[in-house]
Amino acid sequence: MQPISKNLHRRGESWIEKGLAFCAALFVIVIAIITIFIFARGLPILLKVGVADFLFNTDWRPTSNSFGIGTMLVGSLVVTTASLLWAVPLGIMTAIFMAEVAPPRASRWLGALVELLAGIPSVVYGFVGLVLIVPFIRNYLGGNGLSVLAGAIILGIMILPTIINISRDAIRAVPKEYKEGSLALGATHYQSIRRVILPAARSGIITAVVLGMGRAIGETMAVVMVTGNSPIIPAGVLSPVRTMTSNIVLEMGYAAGDHQAALFATGVVLFVFIVILNLVVNMSLKAGAANGRR
């Protein structure tokens, strides 16, 4: 076997490759440092309180050393679920519209608008929610308006771009022959979409929903501005609610000692949750690719 040198440098250029490799290595270094520092600050109290107690105990009284984020965990799950409930169907329908129904020009335009929707900062969404949606709910539905419902509406809008873009790409990636085969059998366009295209794009659409969920759980500013933030288990959609992320941003300003550590522990919970979600998506995507689908 001949020794094959991959060495394609001129004199004095080998340090360039090392420098570039270092840049790439920084990604790994950075995520390692993030993990270490968040865990170092949050893990001790998480273990002291006990993971189950920390997660499911609904008693959050940091001043008297009682750290249970159960209420906020439920809050995050409720608001996220409520937002998915309407954003997922609308997002998937829009994706189908763009990939299969709309004329190419309309589809391109809508694509650009969805990009813009994705680019608007969370704080602007929160603000619009606060000045537009909250008063609307207060005036027409009751309560003071700061509610699960307001959070679900704003969060839903915010995750629409994620759901639309990823599902649309998944639908577009379905081989043309599938659809043509179905049409050739006399199926209508919509029958083909429902029976052939959507099943073939399923793993991509699930990915879209999962990533949308990840975004919703992690979102902070928009939620904190419209949900009222009372640390109670919400009794209905008009009741106020406090999420894990809201809890962090509201209390970090003055928390110290164990209280601050407990907020970092909440960060650990979020971090672990998101990383697991990403790894699952990553692996299921690879499994999908291995099945011969792109």
* Contact pick of 80, 83, 94, 227 for another protein (by CB under 8 A): 94
Coil, strand or helix: which one is 67?
strand
Amino acid found at 283: M
Nearest CA among 109, 67, 94 for reference residue 208: 94
Binding flag, residue 131, another protein (CB under 8 A): yes
Rg for the chain, CA atoms, rounded? 24
* Contact pick of 51, 85, 123, 185 for another protein (by CB under 8 A): 123
- Closest CB to another protein among 235 and 294? 294
Q: What is the nearest approach in angstroms of another protein to the Cβ of residue 127? A: 5
Q: How far apart are the first and last CA of the chain?
A: 36
Span interacting with another protein, options 1-9, 61-69, 135-143, 174-182, rule CB under 8 A:
1-9
Q: How far apart are CA 208 and CA 173, in angstroms?
A: 14
Binding flag, residue 178, another protein (CB under 8 A): no
The conformation of residue 229, written as its DSSP 8-state character, comes to -
* Contact pick of 68, 151, 212, 214 for another protein (by CB under 8 A): 214
178 contacts 125 by C-beta, under 8 angstroms: no
* Contact pick of 66, 81, 121, 185 for another protein (by CB under 8 A): 121
Binding flag, residue 81, another protein (CB under 8 A): no
Q: What is the nearest approach in angstroms of another protein to the Cβ of residue 239? A: 20
Binding flag, residue 69, another protein (CB under 8 A): no
* Contact pick of 66, 81, 85, 115 for another protein (by CB under 8 A): 115
Q: How far apart are CA 36 and CA 42, in angstroms?
A: 10
Q: What is the nearest approach in angstroms of another protein to the Cβ of residue 132? A: 6
CA angle 154, 230, 128 (to 5 degrees): 25
Binding flag, residue 55, another protein (CB under 8 A): no
Q: How far apart are CA 46 and CA 58, in angstroms?
A: 15
- Closest CB to another protein among 114 and 148? 114
